[in-house]
Amino acid sequence: MDVTELLIFLAIGALAGWLAGVITKGGGFGLLGDIVIGILGAVVGGYVFGVLGIAVAGLIGSIITATLGAVILLFLIRLIKRA
């Protein structure tokens, strides 16, 4: 992975984490928090899409996958925090 790919990866993570925070009405988590949530969300989203047999491609597909996964992740975290 070269520097450009790493920067794109981090930018997608930050964008997905921020979008997930906005969608779930929680706001952002700071740059580092958004990146972490977005990256973990990409893993969750990739798993969910794989189970459902949905294939995405390109930059927009990556952002959608990571954002959806981050929304699911935030929902689960908030559910656990309330318990």
Helix and strand tally (H, E) in the chain?
3, 0
Please list, residue by residue across 69-80, b when 16 or more beta carbons sit within 10 angstroms of its beta carbon and e when fewer do: bbbbbbeeeeee
pTM over 0.85: yes
Query: Collapsing DSSP states into helix, strand and coil, what is residue 83?
Result: coil
In whole angstroms, give the CA distance from residue 13 to residue 81: 23
The stretch 35-44 carries a mean pLDDT of 92
Residue-averaged pLDDT of the chain: 90
Share of the chain above pLDDT 70, in %: 96
pLDDT score of 68 more than 90:
yes
Q: 78 versus 47: which is more confidently predicted?
A: 47
pLDDT score of 27 more than 70:
no
